[in-house]
Chain A
Amino acid sequence: MLSLLIWIPILTAILVCLCPPQHVAGPRNLSLVAIGLTFGITMLLVFQFDPISILPQFAESHAWIDRLGLTYRLSLDGLSLPLVALNALLTWVAVYCTRLDVPRPRLYFCLLLIINAGVTGAFLAHNLLLFFIFYEVELIPLYLLIAIWGGSRRGYAATKFLIYTAISGILILGAFLALAWLTGVSSFNYDLLQHQHLPLTQQALIMGALLVGFGIKIPLVPFHTWLPDAHVEASTPISVLLAGVLLKLGTYGLLRFGLGLLPDAWALFAPWLATWAVISVIYGSCTAIAQKDMKKMVAYSSIGHMGFILLACAANTPLSLLGAVFQMVSHGLISGLLFVLVGVVYSKTGSRDLEVLRGLLNPERGLPLIGTLMIWGVMASAGMPGMIGFISEFIVFRGSFPIFPTQTLLCMVGTGLTSVYFLLLVNKVFFGRLQVPIPAQMPSSLFVLPTVEWRDRAPALLLAILIVVFGLQPHWVLRWSESSTTALISSPALVAEVDKPTAPILPRVPAI
């Protein structure tokens, strides 16, 4: 069952490549159907999933290369389930909002499908090496998607992305190898490694590599500079995928492998991680305020909002981890929405410049519905109650506060700053009299933007509705993850450690 999620997109990718070139719409439609199918299967899995169980479900295991300890081992738990669903949803959105006249459609959709397969595979893999392979599989297509279909500085941005992520990959691989080597286990299977226990120093070393490796992907300050460039140069669908799903690989990896396999080192690093989260949040938010490019602003806001997840992971309480997973979903939907909207603005006006665009809410000549949805999106991002961003952040903060009160409060400043920069964006770009870049010597009242079609609005509407639905009914997302995240804390290694009186593992509740 789980293999279908990976192999349907890959087989479709091959099909897409075989599509006759005169079939212009073929690749797109094929992709839509394939991703729709995987989304349907995911939903089927969701309803068969047992939310109470903490064991990996729907497991599949096939020997692959025993000598390497590589096993084709997939399974689903509460940590990966929401992310797999998010991936299918956002890939579908990305395919849908791709321009109809995208050049080289066969290659384009083939790459998108491979990314989808790679990311799903990474979320499902229960073998470290298999995770790494999928993690790398997603890298090259994304590089190509930026390098071929990107903006004017695409070469630079794509290379930067490639180098950063390649380093990230090497570090992660190194960490995995070291883990297996040091524990002396000949397999990379997750459940096997989970029961191993390493001395603290060794854990710390591996942890360091993982932190930088996944920190690049999340991204955490100061390893983040590839992200704004990649976003600015990438086309809209790629940005949606990048912000919505790919960044989550970083936090997912940290949770799964950092926290899950190296609990002692995690406990040791936790206060530093929380402080790191604060720095990321404040730094990302402050930098976002100064941005003039809408896409860059949303990109920096991602850096800020991904910092919340790190805070929650560092706090490591049942509630905060649940919040972390929820925040991943929440950020995926919200940043997806924002990038879709920025994309529409860019495709209609030819600009994303906050100093140029004005008054796009204009009902006749502007993009009123897009503007309305943008207000919707930024409010969700700024943590407006009733939307998913609020409850996910609240759970993160509420879960983290008992452990790291100061850091939590400082992170909350980040939500305040979010409203500052996003309000600037809405006020500048959408309020006021309509103003768009126009050809020289043309009277501004005669320049007319292209019509916004319903197909431009549909993906944004879908995401906006989900944001409110899950904001009002967070339980629909949370219930799948609760057991798994709770189990993550009491992972076997940790339980073993509790018996030893010396180890400072259990979170200390400060006296307030």
Chain B
Amino acid sequence: MNQFLLQTTYWVPLYGLLGAILTLPWSIGLLQRSGPRPAAYFNLFMTSLGLLHGFFAFVQTLNLEAQEVLWHWLTVADLDFTFAIKLSSVSVGAMELVTLLSLLAQVYALGYLEKDWALARFFALMGFFEAALGGIAISDSLFLTYALLEMLTLSTYLLVGFWYAQSLVVTAARDAFLTKRVGDVLLLMGVLSLSVLAGSLNFPDLYVWTETASLSPTVATLLGLALIAGPTGKCAQFPLHLWLDEAMEGPSPASILRNSIVVSAGAYVLIKLQPILIVSPVASATLVGLGTVTAIGASLVSIAQIDLKRALAHSTSAYLGLVFIAVGFQWSGFALLILFAHGISKALLFMSAGGVTLNTNSQDLTEMGGLGRKMPASMLAFVIGGAGLIGLLPLGGFWAMREGLSSFWYEHQWVTGVIVLVNGLTAINLVRVFRLVFLGSPHAKARRAPEVPWLMAVPMVSLAVITVLLPLMMQRLSLLPGWTYLNQEAVAVLVISGLVGCAIGAGLKLNRSGDTGFYPVPKAFRNLLAYDFYVDQLYRFTVVAAVSAAAKASAWFDRYIVDGVVNLVGFASLMAGEGLRYSISGQSQFYLLTILISVGAIGVFLTWSLW
């Protein structure tokens, strides 16, 4: 029985998909007289089922060697698509985490979106989302992973575009899709090259191939860069990071997943790709470079945000930047720990933020204040989530960053500086946000703010408990070092950076008006950060302008040169004048013309062969 449950682990993502399909009668409007909530219940049920199934499978994996399930999909010509699914404690555990967070987000959504008549569509998309994410967790085939990443792109597009009648949602959905798509197409180029070079797209085969591969440096570099492009888009890393900020237009329950496990899915794929990336030192260096730029840049940018969700979202990019650095230096353990700790804590922070938004009808940090007196659960969730994110108290973030500091303590020491800086800046940001939202005197919009209803509170509190218990889980999974191995200097540096960050955050003079952050620095610099280094403008004047110029040029060329020449030659234009207007006689003339030409040609041939 248990073996059966393990072997059928791939059903778990399919449960989500099935849930999505079950919502169809409501989401496409076949059932008009009754409401859409049964669709949500179906999805909750399927996800719970998946969680249960996955749990039994996970327990199995703890005692067993990793297993590989192969599935022949398609064999054509010299191409063999055999998908591999890996059942190890890490992959099944990741799938469980996905399913768990999805379940919590879905319960939360039932409360958050109780007034939304498009609930069925939302849950359909969540089921789809969950299926793609869960699939990525257990997939051991680059082809399958690529396909699932694309499904993720699609569902992100549709989830961000959930409120499609809202103008900023429209642009946000578009940008999310196109940015990720740029990464995906580059990744596809990499996948395709690998498929040709290595002959198989299953990760174990690729790893074997990498050991003996001899590629020219150019090809290796291009391949490596193509492979990291996909995760760069998914993880919202510079320069493909803009979409995450805009994606905050989407519903909060989706933001919970997006900022925790969707970005992590990209990083997870990157970690799986890491053994292949060895072929290209340039790609690894690029990873480190992008990661560093994003980690520091996004941390700074997040401090200057006045939008609650965006202040948290930019910090997501920053943490994923640390993952990029870790993968670039082949420290996968550090990368996984960061993903694990960040995913859970960030989800919790977003749950708290969603309730605040719902209560104040605002996301503007300058319009809040004093909510701590009225919303204890949300406040606690924020505090625990924040504490779980930064390296100060011995929660997830602390242990993850400690791992990072230990890893880079003797080699590439500058990275420890980056980690400490990100830790400090994140602490500043979180304390700043906490003060603006929960402390002080309330703005008019935050004057009446009863705590969120139980459908939102229950998942929030559950996740808070999980966040607190995370170190215990890490210990059970042997992810934590013994006390004797603890690098005490590193711990001290970490705690001090967290403390200093909190202190600065607590001491910052808060400005409850205006567009930018709360910096004791010149306004131009604050604006630079508040508007994300104006990268969107940069895009507008480079990539967007180039594509649109190319499009206009080719359309002009098409119309006036290619077609113009055709018309000029006169055949068409001459005929199009008088003779071509539709009339019975006109028709037959042309009928005759063609027949004559054709028959004439045949006639010529005929006489020829007679000779």
Contacts and interface: CB of A to CB of B under 8 A. Distances in A.
Contacts of B608: 177, 181
A482 B591 contact: no
A156 B580 contact: yes
Contacts of B551: 286-290, 421
Contact of B576 (A156, A402, A421): A156
B568 interface: no
B468 interface: no
Nearest to A433: B165
Interface string A395-438: 10111011001001100110111011101100100111110000
A372 B30 CA distance: 14
A139 B591 CA distance: 10
A181 B185 CA distance: 48
B558 A225 contact: yes
B41 interface: no
B29 A363 contact: yes
B558 A162 contact: no
A183 interface: no
A148 interface: yes
A412 B186 CA distance: 9
A337 to B, nearest CB: 17
Given A286-B554, A395-B79, A409 B189 contact: yes
B609 interface: yes
A174 B605 CA distance: 9
Interface in B546-571: 547-548, 550-555, 558, 562-563, 566, 571
A372 B572 contact: no
A221 B595 CA distance: 27
Contacts of A163: 571-572, 575
B197 A416 contact: no
B54 to A, nearest CB: 22
Nearest to B590: A162
B112 interface: no
A400 B118 CA distance: 44
Contacts of B547: 286, 289, 417, 420
Contact of B555 (A147, A287, A319, A482): A287
Which range holds the interface residue count of chain A? 35 or more
B197 A512 contact: yes
Interface residues of B, number: 73
A496 to B, nearest CB: 23
A431 B161 contact: yes
B280 to A, nearest CB: 14
B585 interface: no
B602 A173 contact: yes
A169 interface: yes
Interface string A373-388: 0010001001011100
Interface string A194-222: 00000000000000000000000000011
Contacts of B77: 317-319, 322, 399, 482, 486
A503 to B, nearest CB: 23
A431 B170 contact: yes
Interface in B140-186: 146-148, 150-151, 154, 158, 161, 164-165, 167, 169-171, 173-174, 177-178, 181-182, 185
Contacts of A225: 558, 562-563, 566
B524 interface: no
A432 B78 CA distance: 47
A177 B77 CA distance: 35
A286 B556 CA distance: 11
Contacts of B582: 147-148, 154-155, 158
B7 interface: no
B276 to A, nearest CB: 16
A432 B169 CA distance: 9
A454 to B, nearest CB: 11
A402 B79 CA distance: 13
A143 B79 CA distance: 42
Given A140-B594, A433-B165, A475-B74, 8 more contacts: A155-B576, A290-B548, A290-B555, A318-B78, A419-B178, A431-B164, A431-B173, A478-B74
22 contacts: A69-B609, A136-B594, A139-B594, A156-B572, A156-B580, A158-B580, A166-B598, A177-B604, A181-B609, A225-B566, A286-B550, A287-B554, A289-B551, A290-B554, A322-B77, A361-B165, A363-B118, A401-B193, A424-B174, A427-B173, A431-B169, A478-B74
Interface of B: 28-29, 74, 76-79, 118, 146-148, 150-151, 154, 158, 161, 164-165, 167, 169-171, 173-174, 177-178, 181-182, 185, 188-189, 192-193, 195-197, 215-216, 219, 547-548, 550-555, 558, 562-563, 566, 571-572, 575-576, 580-582, 587, 590-591, 593-595, 597-598, 601-602, 604-606, 608-609
